[in-house]
């Protein structure tokens, strides 16, 4: 299958991007400044990310659509207000996570932002619950731009009047260059920011204006270090179909009403995990020595028992230390518990720590 390119591919080249194949797309991993500088710039200013590889999936229908989606999404969609968003997931029959997502209530039904590598399978899973009256489609003629960082609102307000009034996890329609776009105040870096759904033929104009306002481009490399410092999961690393939301420490993302009433895939198994705890749990891990524990690094107890596995690990530029997340036997998950990380055949000291590593700066 041919590698796809986003509408900004040629623009990224002019900015000096280095590319990598990711989820079937040719995507910028970093630019001339490098991952660490891009990361720190996002934390202090405003950076933009091309996330057009993600699926912008739209569903139209009445209350029956809401009821259908609630069979595999454990959010309280019936109570979701217009243009409000929720972080949630698609669940399989065992309560495992098919994908994590952001779902937004629209006048016609819902829009869902799906992970690039999962989007085709996600649609197959969702379609199992839809009826002939429900309409669904991808907006492939629209790009998705994430603007992230403490100066995001100040910059975007100069370009698109009124966006700074949005609250975290809400959105609205705006006009830019005679085109309609939908903007939500959200993102996946731990910073204040926006996700902008914009026609492909207008995205270069928007990015030109962002750069004129001293916004810098940021690649997938810094996107990963930013989300890891913020303790945010990445599908295929912290999340997969064999991990349920309770094990993933995402109990908060299941609506209280849904926990009580159930009616979604895997509810019985998830309910057992809530009531009795789970054998393994997602934790933050702080290295006590100058080593970086990458994905698949084995975790040991101090008495030598293998107790878990790292799912993501890197150097955290904002916290100036190696950071990691992983799954361990729940008996060892208490904050402050000392563990060992096996890197290149040697074991190094680490401890279980509070997530996130970096304090989130959302505007609520």
Burial class (CB in 10 A: 0-12, 13-18, 19+), 106: middle
Indicate whether 151 belongs to any domain.
yes
Residue 362 has pLDDT above 90, yes or no: no
Residue 364 has pLDDT above 80, yes or no: no
The H-or-E segment that residue 261 falls in is helix 256-261
Neighbours of 117 (CB within 10 A): 18
Residue 119 has pLDDT above 70, yes or no: yes
Contact 185, 194 (CB under 8 A): yes
Residue 18 has pLDDT above 90, yes or no: yes
Say whether the peptide bond before residue 356 is cis (omega within 30 degrees of 0): yes
**362 and 285 assigned to the same domain:** yes
| Backbone φ, ψ for residue 330 (5° rounding) | -55, -25
Check residue 361 and give its pLDDT: 84
Provide the token pair at 319: 């916290």
Using 50, 70 and 90 to split pLDDT, how confident is the model at 363? confident
Average pLDDT over residues 328-348: 97
Farthest-apart Cα atoms in the chain, separation? 65
Of the candidate ranges 7-11, 109-113, 359-363, the one whose mean pLDDT is the lowest: 359-363
Check residue 1 and give its pLDDT: 66
Mean per-residue pLDDT of the chain: 97
Q: How far apart are the C-alpha atoms of 183 and 180, rounded to whole Å?
A: 10
Indicate whether 272 belongs to any domain.
no
Domain CATH code at residue 300 = 2.40.30.110
Of 198, 229, 260, the position where a domain reaches its end is 229
Residue 233 has pLDDT above 90, yes or no: yes
pLDDT digits (tens, 9 = 90+) for 316-332: 999 999 999 999 999 99
Indicate whether 45 belongs to any domain.
yes
**By residue range, what is the domain housing residue 358?**
279-364
Average pLDDT over residues 28-41: 98
**224 and 293 assigned to the same domain:** no
Of 187, 211, 229, the position where a domain reaches its end is 229
Check residue 360 and give its pLDDT: 82
**50 and 145 assigned to the same domain:** yes
Indicate whether 20 belongs to any domain.
yes
**322 and 174 assigned to the same domain:** no
The H-or-E segment that residue 314 falls in is strand 306-316
Indicate whether 354 belongs to any domain.
yes
**301 and 181 assigned to the same domain:** no
**210 and 327 assigned to the same domain:** no
Check residue 192 and give its pLDDT: 97
Domain CATH code at residue 222 = 3.30.1360.120
* pLDDT > 90 in the chain, percent: 97
Helix (H/G/I), strand (E/B), else coil: 249: coil
Of 229, 264, 297, the position where a domain reaches its end is 229
Domain count, the chain: 2
Provide the token pair at 267: 């509810």
Check residue 156 and give its pLDDT: 98
**225 and 350 assigned to the same domain:** no
Contact 181, 172 (CB under 8 A): no
Rg (CA), the chain: 21
Residue 142's beta-bridge partner residues?
199
């Amino acid at each position: 299958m041919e590698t796809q390119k986003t509408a900004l591919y040629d623009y990224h080249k002019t900015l000096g991007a280095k590319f990598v194949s990711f989820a079937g797309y040719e995507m910028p991993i970093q630019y001339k400044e490098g991952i660490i500088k891009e990361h720190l710039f996002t934390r202090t200013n405003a950076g933009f990310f091309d996330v057009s590889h993600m699926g912008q999936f739209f569903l139209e229908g009445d209350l029956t659509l809401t009821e259908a989606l609630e069979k595999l999404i454990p959010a309280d969609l019936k109570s979701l207000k217009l243009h409000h968003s929720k972080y949630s997931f698609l669940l399989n029959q065992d309560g495992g996570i098919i994908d994590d997502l952001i779902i937004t209530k629209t006048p016609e039904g819902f829009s869902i932002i799906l992970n690039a590598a999962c989007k085709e399978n996600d649609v197959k899973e969702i379609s199992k619950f839809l009826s002939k009256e429900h309409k669904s489609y991808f907006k492939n003629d629209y790009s998705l731009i994430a603007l992230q960082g403490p100066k995001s609102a100040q910059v975007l307000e100069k370009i698109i009047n009124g966006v700074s009034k949005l609250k975290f996890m809400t959105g609205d329609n705006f006009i830019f260059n005679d085109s309609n776009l939908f903007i939500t105040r959200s993102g996946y870096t731990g910073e204040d920011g926006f996700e902008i759904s914009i026609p492909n033929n207008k995205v270069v104009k928007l990015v030109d204006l962002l750069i004129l306002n001293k916004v810098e481009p940021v690649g997938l490399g810094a996107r990963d270090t930013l989300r890891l410092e913020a303790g945010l999961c990445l599908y295929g690393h912290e999340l997969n179909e064999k991990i349920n939301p309770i094990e993933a420490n995402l109990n908060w993302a299941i609506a209280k009403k849904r926990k009580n009433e159930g009616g979604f895939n895997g509810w019985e198994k998830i309910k057992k995990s809530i009531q009795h705890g789970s054998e393994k749990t997602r934790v933050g891990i702080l290295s006590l020595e100058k080593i970086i524990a990458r994905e698949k690094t084995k975790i040991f107890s101090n008495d030598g028992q293998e107790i878990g596995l790292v799912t993501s690990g890197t150097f955290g530029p904002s916290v100036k230390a190696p950071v990691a997340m992983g799954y361990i036997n729940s008996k060892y998950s208490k904050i402050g518990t000392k563990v060992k990380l096996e890197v290149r055949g040697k074991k190094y000291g680490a401890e279980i720590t509070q997530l996130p590593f970096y304090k989130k700066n959302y505007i609520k």
